[in-house]
Amino acid sequence: MKDDNPGSPIGIVLLNMGGPDALEAVEPFLYNLFSDRDLIQLPLGALLQKPFARLISRRRAKAVVENYRAIGGKSPLLHWTSVQAQGIAARLGSAYRPYVAMRYWAPRADEAVARMKADGVERAVVLSLYPHYTGATTGSSVKDFRRAAAALHPGLKYRVIEQWYDWPGYLDALALCVRRGLERFPEDLRPLVQILFSAHALPQKFIDRGDPYLEHVLDTTRGVMKRLGNRSWRLGFQSRSGPVKWMEPDTVEVLDQLAAEGRQAVLLVPISFVSDHIETLHEIDIEYRAHAQAKGIAHFERSPSLNDLPEFLAAMAELVKNEVENWR
C-alpha cells in the first residue's frame, strides 16, 4: 500500500462485545444484544425482531442484574479491552493510537470512528478480539464497523484482522495461563488434573451453514496442548440459552462426566474469551465451581484470563505489526 500520509497516526481498533457499565444498563444492553439478527434471529422475521428483543430483555434482566451484582455491579470488559488496546499501542510506538469499538454497549463503533477522524487518523488496523471466527460475533462487529466508517469517515483506510486462533504468540500466552492454573493445585495432585477447555457455545445452525468456529476452537486447543505435553483434556461449550439446538457437549455435561469417572481435580480453561467478564467471573467461578463441588469434584480451578498478560499483549502487538508490514 502506498503511504499517502506517513506522518499521520495509525489507529488500532479493538472490536469486542461490550457489557453493561451499571446495573441500570443491563436491560438496554440485553435489548441491543437480542436486536442483532447476525447474532440471534428471533422468530417471525426482522419486523418483529425488536419487539421480541424488548420482551426478552425485560424478562431476563432481573436475573442477569443479580449476576452482575455478584461480580461488582458492572462488566469489566471495557476496562480490560481498553487496557489491552493501550498495551498493544504502547508496544508498537508513538505512531499508533488505541481505540475500542463495542458492539452492544458504549463506546460503539460510531464513537471510535468519530474519534479517529478528529485525531487525524487516516489508516487503521481493526482487530477482532474474538480469536475464532463466526459471523455471529466477529462478522457482526466487522459489519458494524464498516457501516460506521462509511458513514462517518469514508476516507479511512483500514485492514481487518478477523481471526487469529493459531497465532503462535497467542497459543504461547494461553499455554502460560494453563501452566499458572495448574500451579493452583497441590504439587502432588498436578499430574492428575483434568484440563477442561470451555468455549462459548453457538447455535448449531451457525456451524451447519459453514462457519469455521468449531474448527478454529479445536485448532487452538490442539496448539495449546502441543505446548503442554502429553496430558488429558476435554472440550465443552458454555453459555447456552433458549430452545434452539446448540453446539455440544455442554461444559456442565462434561463436568458431570468427569465426576462420574471419579476425577477429583479439574482445571477449566476458557479459550474463546481473552479477558474476564460475566462468563468467567460468574458462570465459571461461581456457577460451575459450585456445580463441580456438588458433584464431588473436590479441586476445581480456572486458569487466569489473558487480560493484561505481557506475553499476550506482545503477541497481539506482533500480530498488528505483521498486518501493517504486509499492508505496506
Active site residues: 17, 33, 39, 103-104, 200, 276, 279, 283
Q: Is residue 172 within a helix (H) or strand (E), and if so which, with residue range?
A: helix 168-182
Contact call for residues 14 and 100 (beta carbons, < 8 A): yes
3 state DSSP class of 63: helix
Q: Which helix (H) or strand (E) holds 125?
A: strand 123-128
Helix or strand holding residue 144 (H, E): helix 140-152
Which three-class secondary structure state does DSSP give residue 158?
strand
- By CB atoms closer than 10 A (0-12, 13-18, 19+), residue 318 is middle
**DSSP SS3 for 296:** coil
| Element holding 124 (H helix, E strand) | strand 123-128
Torsion angle, alpha carbons of 50, 54, 60, 64, to 10: 90
Q: How far is residue 135's CA from residue 38's CA, in Å, rounded to a whole number? A: 7
CA distance linking residue 75 with residue 63, whole number of Å: 15
Which of 283, 228, 234 lies closest to 258 in space, CA to CA? 234
Residue 297, helix vs strand vs coil: coil
CA angle 294, 179, 278 (to 5 degrees): 50
d(C-alpha 158, C-alpha 156), whole Å = 6
Q: For cell 478454529, name the residue.
A: 216
